[in-house]
Amino acid sequence: MLHYGISFFQRSRLAALMIACAISLTACATAATAPASSPLIERVIVQFKTTPAAPAQAIAQLAQQYKLPMTFERELGAGFYVAQLKPAQSAATLQPILQQIALDPAVASIEADQLMHTMPVQ
């Protein structure tokens, strides 16, 4: 039966469309607020204020002092050394420890060795 206005069929379709939109908006909002998983850091780059005679021993000493599971991996040059973390650490867990190590009088700098990506210029 058709009245002045919207038929039962049209109301049903409109209600279904409104529900579908509500579900879509909820899914979008959830995806937008979900935290991105923190990548695991496998290595750090250390620079000492003075070049150590035995870099592996200097890194082992820092590892023991700050209870960070790292071992000497290789020298990068210009006083920079790569240390491997075993097991790998989350950025959230690692950052406070790196801040403490950076205050060490023997350390010039220390940072997580992370892969960086360039962004295209628009």
User: Taking the chain (122 residues) in consecutive chunks of 10 residues, what is each chunk's mean pLDDT?
Assistant: 56 55 49 57 96 96 96 94 96 95 96 84 82
Q: Are 48 and 79 in contact (CB under 8 A)?
A: yes
Q: Considering just the CA atoms, what is the radius of gyration of the chain in Å?
A: 27
Q: What was the pLDDT predicted at 15?
A: 52
Q: What was the pLDDT predicted at 7?
A: 61
Query: Residue 39: helix, strand or coil by DSSP?
Result: coil
Q: What was the pLDDT predicted at 29?
A: 47
Q: What was the pLDDT predicted at 97?
A: 96
Q: What is the per-residue DSSP string for 76-105?
A: EETTEEEEEEEEEEEHHHHHHHHHHHHTST
Query: Residue 61: helix, strand or coil by DSSP?
Result: helix
Q: What was the pLDDT predicted at 51?
A: 94
Q: What was the pLDDT predicted at 101?
A: 97
Report the relative pairing of strands 70-77 and 40-48 from DSSP bridges.
unpaired
